[in-house]
Structure 1
Amino acid sequence: MIRIACAQMQIHHTMKENYEKTLLYIKKAHEAGAQLICFPEGQLTRYIAQYKGLSTADIAIPPDHPYIQGFRKACNDMHIIGVFSLALLKKDKIYSIMMVIDETGAILATAAKNHIVQAPHFYEQDYFTPGNDGFLVIPTTAGKLGLIVCFDRHYPESFRTLALKGADLVITAVANETTEPQDVFQWEIRIPAFQNSYYAVMINRTGREDSMDFCGQSLVAGPDGAITALAGSGEELLIADLDYQTSHRLRREKQYLSLRRPDVFDL
């Protein structure tokens, strides 16, 4: 059994405040007995992409930034795996990424968002560069973790790719508003969990940021598509226990993956 903690955060105005809150959540997750903690999209900064063409000077950090070193130390001190969601600056380009740091403080992987949206309240193409790493599965002591960054979840191929790569758990960091269809967001997580017989997590922000009101409602879906854990609309640490033996059994019984015929798909 693996215990996961989902830090449904309200994002403050300064990066320092959000960094310190992240460290606090890591400590709380450790105290709750979690082996793994994950965070919502862009956890260190307010959601600048709700506006067109603002300065990018203060929205991203480089890979060697002290805050990342602080996350590494906290994971090591608390003996917990962290899945962080950051705006990362690399060679003058900004990527929306998820970073896995293991319980020894080692950075295991960085996965960038592959599809960058450009729509009202989500003018992300003004700020972010798309990644080209595809969809990654990271072996850890808490299982094989698949990573999906927000908008990439709207492509069902992302979830299936991670299943074919052997994911036990797929974590999706998001920034969902109250004005968006919350029932559909649940389906987008629950249906892939059912179709691929694995656990799936969606971890969201909460609270109001200028013209955007983030809805919370983070969830963990089981390999049968049922809701394992569901957060409310406010700030909280959502805890769920995952039984990978159940997901492996269901994968054998349902045969959704083993009976696939890739030759009939014209993709």
Structure 2
Amino acid sequence: MTQMLKVGLVQQACGSADKNANLNASIEGVKEAAARGAELVLLPELHLGPYFCQTEDCSRFDLAEPIPGPTTETLGALAKELGVIIVGSLFERRAPGLYHNTAVVLEKDGTFAGKYRKMHIPDDPGYYEKFYFTPGDIGFKPITTSLGKLGVLVCWDQWYPEAARLMALAGADLLLYPTAIGWNPDDDADEQQRQLQAWITIQRAHAVANGLPVISCNRIGHEPDPSDQSKGILFWGNSFVAGPQGEVLCHANAEEDRVIVVEINRRRSEDVRRIWPYLRDRRIEDYAGLTKRYLD
């Protein structure tokens, strides 16, 4: 592996009802990132269409597709054409009545490198994911690629230090988070900023605690509630990359379709772990309580 790695993030609106329009936006973003030297490109969570989990609607299961399937074939051909690794995010149809929120990795030669099924599934107003997604059963296993081991996680996973730690312990070289998160338009500006800063802070903390770069790509734009029971979700963008000490290497805003490309020095993970040897000093013999729901 080379020491320097250029990564790209495609921050895009995904609210069009036209799947092909959303996919084409992703494709154009990947092409721009590749033209600017990116070797690895991350797309937002469920980037093929609107965030359908605002309501519980059985007809939405028709949006799911098998993996491998038509979209992985398209992304694989694009990866081969451009010579880049692509990390996408799809609604997986595993079997009748069995669906997952799944991230996929396509290698530079177009082959299917692997997938990760979202483990932590939220169920909150506007985010009714438990209705649609079965929790992942692959575990926290990095996906091996020509650019190293990718610790791919998805959205709600990004709040859990356990997920990041287990990926790091399994040898991940990078942590990647395709994301679809936003504000409730009814919240005031102060509350919105508290939520955004918490989201950025927790992920930067994963970088610090594990000595790994973190790559987080979110969607943008307002998407209405199909049921008209709320004002919908205003996705807050702010895609970013942090280095292994939590330093922000690049950062998008909350409003723009934008392709970010930034260079990561992978040697820094080794250097940082030597001065902050958290893995060495972990007291694993006393952590059994972490496997319990709560210590009554």
- Name the TM-score, length of structure 1 as normaliser: 0.96
Q: 1:20 aligns with which of 20, 24, 40?
A: 24
CA drift at 1:125? 1.2
1:67 and 1:111 map into 2 onto residues whose CA distance is 16
1:67 and 1:176 map into 2 onto residues whose CA distance is 23
Could you say which residue in structure 1 is the equivalent of 2:265? Answer: 243
1:146 and 1:153 map into 2 onto residues whose CA distance is 11
Q: 2:128 aligns with which of 108, 114, 123?
A: 123
1:67 and 1:100 map into 2 onto residues whose CA distance is 12
- Aligned with 1:188: secondary structure? helix
Letter in 1 for 2:32: K
Matching of residue 204 in structure 1 with residue 218 in structure 2: yes
Could you say which residue in structure 1 is the equivalent of 2:246? Answer: 225
Matching of residue 82 in structure 1 with residue 104 in structure 2: no
1:193-226 CA distance string (max 9 Å, x none):
0111110111100011111110100111110111
Contact 1:112 1:132 in 2 (8 A): yes
Contact 2:208 2:244 in 1 (8 A): yes
Q: 2:146 aligns with which of 141, 148, 162?
A: 141
Could you say which residue in structure 2 is the equivalent of 1:112? Answer: 117
**Structure 1 residue ranges without an equivalent (≥5):** none
Could you say which residue in structure 2 is the equivalent of 1:69? Answer: 73
Q: Which has the higher mean CA deviation after the structures are superposed, 15-24 or 52-61? A: 52-61
Contact 1:198 1:222 in 2 (8 A): yes
- Aligned with 1:4: secondary structure? strand
Contact 1:49 1:123 in 2 (8 A): yes
CA drift at 1:66? 2.4
Could you say which residue in structure 2 is the equivalent of 1:2? Answer: 5
- Aligned with 2:180: secondary structure? coil
1:68 and 1:140 map into 2 onto residues whose CA distance is 16
Runs (4 or more) in structure 1 with deviation over 3 Å come to: none
Q: 2:283 aligns with which of 252, 261, 267?
A: 261
Q: 1:150 aligns with which of 150, 155, 161?
A: 155
CA drift at 1:59? 2.1
Q: How has the CA–CA distance of structure 1 residues 228 and 80 changed in structure 2, closer, same or farther, with 3 Å as cutoff?
A: same
Contact 1:194 1:223 in 2 (8 A): yes
- Aligned with 1:20: secondary structure? helix
CA drift at 1:54? 4.5
Matching of residue 188 in structure 1 with residue 202 in structure 2: yes
Matching of residue 39 in structure 1 with residue 43 in structure 2: yes
Contact 1:95 1:130 in 2 (8 A): yes
Contact 2:33 2:260 in 1 (8 A): no
Could you say which residue in structure 2 is the equivalent of 1:215? Answer: 236
Letter in 1 for 2:285: D
- Aligned with 1:108: secondary structure? strand
- Aligned with 2:216: secondary structure? strand
Contact 2:72 2:112 in 1 (8 A): no
Could you say which residue in structure 1 is the equivalent of 2:229? Answer: none
Contact 1:7 1:238 in 2 (8 A): yes
2:287 and 2:47 map into 1 onto residues whose CA distance is 38
- Aligned with 1:115: secondary structure? coil
Residue-pair matches, total: 267
- RMSD over aligned CA atoms reads 1.3
CA drift at 1:109? 0.8
Letter in 1 for 2:174: L
Letter in 2 for 1:131: G
- Aligned with 1:56: secondary structure? helix
Contact 1:45 1:59 in 2 (8 A): no
Q: How has the CA–CA distance of structure 1 residues 64 and 102 changed in structure 2, closer, same or farther, with 3 Å as cutoff?
A: closer
